[in-house]
Structures are given as structure tokens and as C-alpha cells.
A and B are shown apart, each in its own frame.
Chain A
Amino acid sequence: MKFELTTLEHTKNPEIKWVLSELEKVKEQAVVAGDEERANNCWRESEALQLTLIYIEALHKIKRREYREAWYDLERCEIKCQFVLRNSSEEFCLNKNIYFISHQVSNLQSLYPYCVFSSPGMVVGYYSCGICDHKIRPRSRCSHVKGKIYNGKLCVHVAHDIELKEISIVSKPAQKYSVVHNDETLDFSVLEHLMAILEEAFEEWDVIRTTRKFPIDMFSRVELDSDCPCKGGIKFGQCCSKKAEVEIPHLDFVFRRDIPNLPGVRFPY
């Protein structure tokens, strides 16, 4: 069965739910019949379809300024991409836009202003294999490899006897959902700027990180004891405040199509 899946409207197609449920049924039948390849193919197709749905929804959540909800979806996409990429051929990943989604998820995440996260530290008594339930010890393993699929099921290690030790505040979390910011206090205007131009989820775009110089007069609202806009790591008063121009980080968005009525350069200060 073929159907188009590029817009939010397409994600409402009832056939998608039916296809996902059929894939699950065929996978179960393949497992019973001992047809591992067929079961794994069902897993791939299902994951790729779910990934596309989540990615389209995430993009539209950003458009609707539901930034936190979109952030959670982007993390789900990131995790799904990681496992689909690991367990699929290059051809499959190209056909299903997995490389595209993986790249754009990373781009979108990099445009968020989130920089503080909570991070639980814990002691794990032992792990067991999610496929065969084998208790994993230093000198006792099963044949399954974490992150690979077996009979249509992803091998994960399940943690047992967990003891929470501490919660740390980190800038680079392993789990990105643990944002501690209040969104109302943050500036999402870079994403807003991008979304004003981006029309479709699978439209090709990229971001180029560069710098741009602005006359010092434009920085009159920056306090001398604030961090320098050049992001050099010291205070404005000790850094660029006496220069004629200040060179600050700048993002250029590039698109494959012509953009009529380009918005002007956004100055952050």
C-alpha cells in the first residue's frame, strides 16, 4: 500500500493506523513461523513509519510554538533514528528519509535555547537481556548484542535493583527530556524565524554557523558587566565594548527553493 506522508494532514490518514497494526500482526506471524528476516523487516517498516509521523508532528508543534512538546518528540526521533540506522541498509535509510530526519532533528535541537538539564545518577545492581532475560555479569553474557534486532524486537538491557544516588545539573544530558528551564523565560525566536519560512517537513534546509559584525551603537542595551555578545567568555566591558564593531555568532539558513519576501536579519540585542 502506498500513501503520501509529508504534511500534518497526511498524518491523520486512518490507513496509517491500519498499516501499523498489520505490520505488528505480520511480525507476530513471522516470529511464530521462525522467519526472522520477515519479522525484522516488519520492525524496520513500522519504526520508519512511526518516525516519520513523530517528525512531522514535532515540526508542526514548533510551528504552533509548543516548543517543549516538540523537544520531547525530537528526542524520540533521535532515539528511533539511532536504532533504525544501526539495523537497516543504506538503501532503506535513503528511501525512508532516515538520514534526512536524523540530520534535521540534530539541526532543530541545536536551535533550541535549552542549556541546563537534570541528570539522575544511580547504581544498577544488574542488567538483564531484553531478548532472553539472561542476567548479564562480567563473566556471563548471552549471544544478543545491545541495540540490534532479533525476531523483530530490539535488544535492550533492562536495569534491576536500582538505587538513586543523586540528581546533577548538567549542560550535556544523555536524556534530553530532562530540561529544567521555564520556557516562558526563554527566547525561541531563532526557531520562530526558521518556521516563518519552512513550509513542509521534508523541505530541504540547513543551517550554517558563522559570525557577523554589527556597529557598536547597536549594543547600547548590553550592560558592561553582562557576558560579551561575541561569546568570548568574558564581560562586555572587558571585551568588545570599546570596539567600533562587534563580531557576534550568526546563523544563516539555506534553502533549496527561492524564498520570496525574505525576512530581514534578526539582531538579538
Chain B
Amino acid sequence: MSILEKKDRFEVKEESLTRAELVRKASLSLTEIIKEKSLIILPSHGTVDEFYAGSLDTLDYLNDNDVDAEIYSTDEDYKELSLHGADIWLGTFFVSSIILPILTNLISSYIYDKLKAQKEDGISLKLIIERESGSTVSISFDGKVEKLDKVFTAIKELENEV
């Protein structure tokens, strides 16, 4: 394996981040924006206020597909982190369990139809799924698009659980 080839990473674990925590950390105006949203796009891994390039395209796609989605940032504070590798940095999504039944179709059609991703392309995404009880569980994936099935299987299992 070349030193430039990353190893795949797939992890499902209990999370501490909750909707209440997101609201607590948000400004008053942001609290209003994210209130009762089914899906919230969070800042990129390891940052507090930078979103992956293309996050607004993702937001538009979600809203065009009847998902009540928002970005965890005010218009004034929004910045993008532009990583120029060809990998797809999809980002971190806080997802209400209400949309679990449509989530797999939504993600796969966005990746294959909209982004025209090939099976060999690298992709990074994290889903933080909010159960009805308010507790959360995360699905993290870094690897090739062709192995995204692991994420879809995990979503299905959570759908059966919640």
C-alpha cells in the first residue's frame, strides 16, 4: 500500500452531543435558525466554525428533496474550508431519527447522481443520529465510495432500533 493511501475507517458509537447541547452553544439568532430542523449540517471535523466546501450545495439538495435542513451557522459567521484533494468531504450531519427512512436514498442519490462520484473515490462523512429519547449515536466513515454500504446497513439497523 502506498503511504498516500488512507486506510478505511468505519465506526458506530454512542455520542455525547445532543440537540440541547447544540442549542446551548448557539447564539440567540442561530438557535432560532436551527429550531426543530430535521437535519443540521455541522462544522467540519476538528473545527468550530468552518464548513466543508460544497456544504451550501448539500444544504440546497436536502431542502430541494423536502428535508427541513439548516447549517449550524449564521450568515455572518459562515466560512468554508476548501480542501483541494479530489476526495469528497461531505461533512458532519446532525440527523433527527424522523428522516432515517429516507436517509439512505438521499445520501446515495446525492453522492452518485449529483456529485457523480465513482466507486474508487474517497469520501468522508459523519452522521450523528438523534433518537426519540434525545440521546445520539454516530456513524463515521472514511473510505472508498464503493464501501458506503456499511453506512447504509448501520442506518437500517438504527432505523429498526429507534
Contact = CB atoms under 8 A, between A and B. Distances in A.
Interface string A137-168: 11111000010000000000001000001001
Interface string B74-94: 010011111111110000000
A215 interface: no
Interface stretch (B1-9, B107-115, B132-140): B1-9
B82 A159 contact: yes
B73 A138 contact: yes
A136 B78 CA distance: 10
For chain B, the bracket of interface size reads 20 to 34
A139 B75 contact: yes
A169 interface: yes
Contact of A116 (B4, B50, B83): B4
B56 A136 contact: yes
Contact of A124 (B53, B73, B87): B53
Contacts of A115: 2, 4
Contacts of B71: 138
A32 interface: no
B85 A168 contact: yes
A177 to B, nearest CB: 11
Contact of A138 (B2, B75, B82, B121): B75
A137 B78 contact: yes
B117 to A, nearest CB: 12
A170 B57 CA distance: 24
A174 B121 CA distance: 12
B87 to A, nearest CB: 7
Contacts of B33: 139
A175 B81 contact: no
B79 A174 contact: no
A92 to B, nearest CB: 21
B82 A119 contact: no
A140 B78 CA distance: 12
Nearest to A138: B71
A29 B81 CA distance: 40
B2 A175 contact: no
A53 to B, nearest CB: 27
A113 interface: no
B143 interface: no
Contacts of B75: 137-140
Interface of B: 1-2, 4-5, 33, 50, 53, 56-57, 59-60, 70-71, 73, 75, 78-87, 121-122
